[in-house]
Chain A
Amino acid sequence: MTRRSRSPRPAGRAGRLQRLRPWLLLACGVALAFGLASFFLLDARVRAQFGQTQWRLPAHVYTQPLELYPGAALTPAAVRAHLQSVGYRAVERVAEPGQYRFEGARLQLHTRAFHYPDGPESAQRLEVRFAGDSIAAVTGPRGASALARVQPQRIGSVFPGRQEDRLLVRLDEVPRFLLEGLIAVEDQDFRDHAGIQPSAVLRALLANLRAGRTVQGGSTLTQQLVKNFFLSPEQTLGRKFTEALMALSLEWHYSKDQILAAYLNEVYLGQDGRRSIHGVGLGARHWFNRPVSELQLHEAALLIGLIKGPSWYHPREHPERARDRRDTVLRVMARMGVVSRERARAAMRQPLGVVSRDEVRLAEYPAYLDLVREQLGRDYREEDLRSGGLRVFTWLDPRVQRAAEAAVDGRHGGLGADSGLQVAAVVAERDSGAVLALVGDREPRRPGFNRALSARRPVGSLIKPVVYLTALRRPDDYTLASRVNDDPLRVELGGGRTWEPQNHDDEFRGEMLLIDALVDSRNVATARLGLELGLDAVGRNLRRLGVAPARTLVPADLLGSLSLTPLQVTRLYQTIAAGGFDAPLRTIAAVHDADGGSLRRYGLSVEQVLPATATFLLGHALEQVAERGTGRALGWLLPDRRVAGKTGTTNDLRDSWFAGYDSRHVATVWVGRDDSAPAGLSGSAGALRIWADMMRRIPAPARPPQVPAGITWAHIDPVTGLQVSRQCPDSRRLPFIEGSRPARTRGCGGVIGGKQS
């Protein structure tokens, strides 16, 4: 129409126009096509990106939950520490999830719902009664016994670094006043508009013109979401146009609730170091250490206020500003009828309620997470771990980890003032192999070289049990009462070289019982025994225990010139501790996807690699080490505890080791220097002290090990190794594999010791 009306114009211009017309048409067409194409492209992008996985979520890693059950060795203080670490509140009257109250030895507790590795569990009211240092009873609302646990602590990321973090929430978890308050403050017409609101833009434009700067956004929630979700932050006209198109597209394809939910999960609410806090779920956790469902009005108002500028209104740094902003939000909420004026006024009288940063900072366990990362890497791609929103449940037990960290801490005596000394520690569950704690540096929270996993050091006498095990697996030839020889030994190595092992006390004791050679850690007797058995046989048992030496063994390996990491040592001792059943040392209990669906449960699995009988004999000897041998300091360091283990010391006191176990745990401690200079500590002086201090902090029942079938007992003369009457004064009761009991002798045997009775 327009063109036609323009046609009767002067011929000169008309002619020019006439000639230009095809070009103009083409240009218009191109522009239109381009506009349409870009709209469809944007539209497709909106649908593709918004419809699919919406969020880049780093894998969330959790510790173990806290199990509350009768008999659990848990003090009120330990339970309180866990409750605080997961943001439970001490209150006068327990009324809601996330609250507790201690009254002497009674704990009133209302747990929160949580999606555990074995399924979701709803909130429940409990009463926990303590008796001394353990739990006596756990009862539910009607006094019935209850099965109870408290949610695990979330810990640092497996891939630390700059990242967006969020805790996704569903709309039905968000309190109504938070939803309505958000709409009242940010976008009053949200429920009615089609994604953009020209009148609001105009209003904002005028306001900005009047002020000479940007004072109003005029963006709808949808536009804000588009901007944050799809676009970079720059503000240009073209960008505004794209934003508007995408907002329209979003509204066209998705419901208001979907858009609102996305907004609530997207919105930026603060910064924690290199981690940016997104969404009201994590926002509520970061600022108030609560789930969003537990937010109170004044807290929700502050969260809404923060959207405008999380650093400008930073409640910890600018509490006054934050308070003004919060009260403004409350006034708007009252004016818009979201809450009554009285409620808003009451909320204004509340303090900000923001918790300290320390309370919500994710606990960093870099050493443990190294192992988690390694084990996750076997089954998951790094990309999925960085952004796939996986939920990873680990076996990390914060109490055990704290115990290990406290024990290595120089201030508590562990390493003393020698800053050059380094340390590593591993604690695992004895039967399941679940790794409970890991320390890889004398400053446990310092990431970097992880000695527990990576420091390969000569193990010294720690290896000796493998030699004795090799012997005890041949019950026809060896028993604990066999006689071994500790006289000087000289081995021709070929090429004119010889090897002459020495004992740590530079003495030779001659003939002695096999068990005593291990209990007193006699080098020469052990070397002679090992050579008698053959290096190949010892090597085979080493491999059965999960340690594959890189080279064929040499005689000096019988005394521990072999280098292993603390983790490898732990695996070796785990198998011995668990009666010959090897359980892989695992950190991961289960992995869930972002929606709580179980991707994988890492079930219990053991493998019998050693006969129960021979392993039991070895275990008996290792208990004796702790009772009267090189580990006898444990007798007074850990009174009333039934432990077994072995010290390890290398030449010139370069490495100090202790590996051992009780009825529930297996643990290894290494102390030394990174440059392998002498540390000046023997196994019993350095590592053993730390080991004992650590175990003292992690209780375990003092139960004797179960005697397997095929074991008999006999009283033995300590010198001749012959069976004697139980009345004989020096006789010792020792276990034997059936059919291998030594010959009986008359009287008390001790002809050599002259102790006949």
Chain B
Amino acid sequence: MNARAILWLPLAGALAAAGCATAPEGPMDADRAEPAATTVEEDGTVRHSVPNRAVALLWDRAERARKDGRIEDALGSLERALRLSPDDPVLWSRVAELRLRQGEYAVAENLAAKSNALAGEQRLLRYRNWLLIAEARERRGDPEGAEQARAEAEQYGGP
């Protein structure tokens, strides 16, 4: 249990940094009157640029559910967001994290890999995903694989 608690901390930090590193994508709608579609957590750390307001609203909703421990609800919102924006690597990464929490280690590992495939130059998001993969492998009883994943993570630096 302790190991898990320790893990979430760097992950949260990594996500914060990764989100900041995301090149903001201009809103796809012509509605210039609205502010850029970004979401910010209360503590001001996690920043995730998204293509439109609907994804931003769904992200907020998922975050609220996640913090309340309603994992299935959070997943529902995130998957709905992914249907609007299937190339968004941060969404895939968050889904991976929640599936890891549910104990779906193999699924989580694959989702994190999917996030990596879409992550482009977002080094910190990659870092975070490799940590997720390392954790998933650790829990599946694959310490060697976990070690390899951690080595991959190091390649992308830390927070």
A and B co-occur in one complex? yes
CB pair A69–B83 under 8 Å, yes or no, is: no
B145 CB–A CB distance under 8 Å: no
A135 CB–B CB distance under 8 Å: yes
The answer, among A118, A129, A137, A703, for a CB contact under 8 Å with B77, is A118
CB pair B86–A71 under 8 Å, yes or no, is: no
Q: In chain B between 22 and 50, which residues have their CB closer than 8 angstroms to a CB of chain A? A: 27-31, 34
CB pair A69–B113 under 8 Å, yes or no, is: no
CB pair A69–B30 under 8 Å, yes or no, is: no
B76 CB–A CB distance under 8 Å: yes
Chain A residues near B114: list those with CB within 8 A.
Answer: 431, 579, 581, 606, 608
B21 CB–A CB distance under 8 Å: no
Given contacts A432-B83, A581-B117, contact A136 B30 (CB under 8 A): yes
User: How many positions in chain B have a CB within 8 Å of any CB in the partner chain?
Assistant: 41
A7 CB–B CB distance under 8 Å: no
Given contacts A118-B76, A429-B83, contact A70 B117 (CB under 8 A): no
A250 CB–B CB distance under 8 Å: no
A354 CB–B CB distance under 8 Å: no
CB pair A603–B75 under 8 Å, yes or no, is: yes
The answer, among B27, B56, B73, B75, for a CB contact under 8 Å with A119, is B73
Q: In chain A between 411 and 430, which residues have their CB closer than 8 angstroms to a CB of chain B? A: 429-430
Q: In chain A between 664 and 714, which residues have their CB closer than 8 angstroms to a CB of chain B? A: 664, 703, 706-709
The answer, among A70, A431, A432, A612, for a CB contact under 8 Å with B54, is A70
Hey, what's the 0/1 contact readout for A585-613 against B, CB within 8 Å counting as 1?
A: 00000000000001001011111100010
Q: Which of B29, B30, B106 has the most CB of A within 10 A?
A: B29
A131 CB–B CB distance under 8 Å: yes
CB pair B126–A709 under 8 Å, yes or no, is: yes
CB pair B86–A70 under 8 Å, yes or no, is: no
B20 CB–A CB distance under 8 Å: no
Q: Which residue of B lies closest to A616 (CB)?
A: B117
Chain B residues near A67: list those with CB within 8 A.
Answer: 54, 80, 83-84
Nearest Cβ distance between residue A586 and chain B, in whole angstroms?
12
Nearest Cβ distance between residue B136 and chain A, in whole angstroms?
13
| Interchain CA distance A612-B113 in the complex, whole Å | 9
CB pair B117–A579 under 8 Å, yes or no, is: yes
Given contacts A604-B82, A708-B117, contact A71 B77 (CB under 8 A): no
A283 CB–B CB distance under 8 Å: no
Chain A residues near B110: list those with CB within 8 A.
Answer: 581, 605-608
Q: Which residue of A lies closest to B118 (CB)?
A: A706
A117 CB–B CB distance under 8 Å: yes
CB pair B53–A69 under 8 Å, yes or no, is: yes
CB pair A69–B107 under 8 Å, yes or no, is: no
Given contacts A119-B76, A605-B107, A606-B110, contact A709 B54 (CB under 8 A): no
The answer, among B30, B34, B113, for a CB contact under 8 Å with A145, is B34
Chain B residues near A608: list those with CB within 8 A.
Answer: 110, 113-114, 117
Chain B residues near A129: list those with CB within 8 A.
Answer: 31
Q: Which residue of B lies closest to A612 (CB)?
A: B117
Q: In chain A between 113 and 169, which residues have their CB closer than 8 angstroms to a CB of chain B? A: 117-119, 129, 131, 135-138, 145-148
Nearest Cβ distance between residue B57 and chain A, in whole angstroms?
5
Nearest Cβ distance between residue A553 and chain B, in whole angstroms?
28
Q: In chain B between 95 and 121, which residues have their CB closer than 8 angstroms to a CB of chain A? A: 95, 99, 106-107, 110-111, 113-114, 116-120
Nearest Cβ distance between residue B100 and chain A, in whole angstroms?
13
Chain A residues near B28: list those with CB within 8 A.
Answer: 70-71
Chain B residues near A136: list those with CB within 8 A.
Answer: 29-31
CB pair A135–B80 under 8 Å, yes or no, is: no
Chain A residues near B82: list those with CB within 8 A.
Answer: 431-432, 604
CB pair A118–B73 under 8 Å, yes or no, is: yes
CB pair B29–A71 under 8 Å, yes or no, is: yes
| Interchain CA distance A549-B93 in the complex, whole Å | 34
Nearest Cβ distance between residue B54 and chain A, in whole angstroms?
3
Chain B residues near A598: list those with CB within 8 A.
Answer: 72
Nearest Cβ distance between residue A62 and chain B, in whole angstroms?
15
| Interchain CA distance A449-B116 in the complex, whole Å | 42
| Interchain CA distance A117-B83 in the complex, whole Å | 14
The answer, among A70, A135, A606, for a CB contact under 8 Å with B27, is A70
CB pair A138–B54 under 8 Å, yes or no, is: yes
Q: Which residue of B lies closest to A69 (CB)?
A: B54
CB pair B58–A147 under 8 Å, yes or no, is: yes
CB pair A603–B126 under 8 Å, yes or no, is: no
Chain A residues near B76: list those with CB within 8 A.
Answer: 117-119, 601
The answer, among B52, B83, B99, for a CB contact under 8 Å with A71, is B52
List A residues at the B interface (Cβ < 8 Å): 67, 69-72, 117-119, 129, 131, 135-138, 145-148, 429-432, 434, 579-581, 598, 601, 603-608, 612, 663-664, 703, 706-709
4 closest A-B pairs by beta carbon, nearest first, are A70-B29, A69-B54, A118-B76, A71-B28
Complex A-B: 8 CB contacts under 8 Å: A118-B77, A119-B76, A146-B57, A431-B114, A432-B82, A601-B76, A607-B110, A709-B119
A-B contact sample (20 more), CB < 8 A, given A432-B82, A706-B117 = A67-B80, A70-B27, A71-B29, A71-B52, A71-B84, A72-B84, A129-B31, A145-B56, A430-B86, A434-B83, A579-B114, A580-B117, A581-B113, A581-B114, A598-B72, A601-B72, A606-B110, A606-B111, A607-B110, A663-B87
